[in-house]
Amino acid sequence: MILGGAVKEGLPPVIQRLIAWRKRNNLSQRAAAVVMQAAGYQVRLSAIQHWETGIRTPSPLAGKALETFLDQHPTIQNPPRFGRWIDRRKE
């Protein structure tokens, strides 16, 4: 979980990488899930939320897949935007 910009201590390194990746790409958790799903990774928003808050940790297989995704997609071009103030007519 991000509190005041700090990553919650005790999270697995792959989740710390995920949080840093989201911040670098200016992605919400929801947008990150959409990007991963578009790349063929079956990741749910709730999984990202649970991982980042420390409620759950990814399985070894999911952790390896997440590492592979992060290695292959360091930068996201034209990330999806969600929020109540987004004017979707311009998209």
Position 83 scores a pLDDT of 75
Tokens describing residue 56: 């759950």
Sketch the domain layout of the chain as residue ranges: 2-75
Cα dihedral 69, 39, 80, 23, rounded to 10, equals 0
Question: In this structure, are residues 80 and 37 in contact, taking their beta carbons and an 8 Å threshold?
Answer: no
Position 2 scores a pLDDT of 45
How does pLDDT run along the chain (91 residues), one tens digit per residue?
444 455 567 999 999 999 999 999 999 999 999 999 999 999 999 999 999 999 999 999 999 999 999 999 999 998 888 877 655 555 5
